[in-house]
Amino acid sequence: MSESWIKRELVLIRHGQTAYNLERRMQGQLDIPLNETGRKQAAACGKLLQTLEWFAKPEMLISSDLCRASETAEHVARALGLPITPDNRLREWMLGDWQGLTIEEAAALSGEGIDPTIDAPIGRPNNAESMEHMAERVAALLQEVMNSSQSVVLVSHGGTLQIVMCLLLGVDITHRRQFSFGSASVTRLAFGDDNVPVLLKFGLSAE
């Protein structure tokens, strides 16, 4: 099938692994760097991007300003020859009292246990950003991206990219966990003249 209908792409990249990921700690907006594995994943992601056939080559790179995303974005920037535009609207969900806790510790704090279907504490943390506010900040950035007519790469966090997918595909944000992004994975969506998103590839990994 001809891909001539594709006018631009939106590329979603999750940051590489951190020590908190390995320890099952909830990062939220804590500024946790990549670990050695994460740095290798980010480098591999950059090499993967150089091998892809682009239907509409990326023209802009926007990254969360948290260092695990910005470190990953450095490899993406070198691969694509693009400058990085940091944007704090791409930060992860601010998890309040759960930030820095393991999943088990957060579940004990909530007193409601762990939901085994999503391996996450049940309930909402105190002093956290509301999911609605998170969706609003992500939607504002996404609207700017959609209005730009450019092919754009977003380097961000698992929870944030889940919200991006929900907003693009019209899925209620309460069902966001159906989109699971691996470390340093690449997801590609295409848009034609009608601006309707078409998923080309979800969760592509160099590993």
Catalytic residue among 15, 71, 75, 157: 15
**Known catalytic residue at 175:** no
CA dist., res. 42 & res. 49, Å (int): 11
Q: CA 46 to CA 138: how far, in whole Å? A: 24
**Angstrom distance (rounded) from CA 94 to CA 186:** 23
> Pick the catalytic residue: 9, 71, 75, 92?
92
Cβ-based neighbour number of residue 38 at 10 Å: 23
For residue 72, give Cα distances in angstroms to 8, 54, 61, 89, 166. Answer: 23, 20, 12, 17, 23
Can you tell me the distance from the alpha carbon of 59 to that of 174, in angstroms, rounded to the nearest whole number? 32
Q: How far apart are CA 11 and CA 200, in angstroms?
A: 10
Per DSSP bridges, beta strands 197-204 and 8-14 are: unpaired
Q: Which of 59, 52, 53, 66 is nearest to 14 (CA)?
A: 66
Say whether 15 is catalytic: yes
Report, as residue numbers or ranges, the catalytic residues: 15, 92
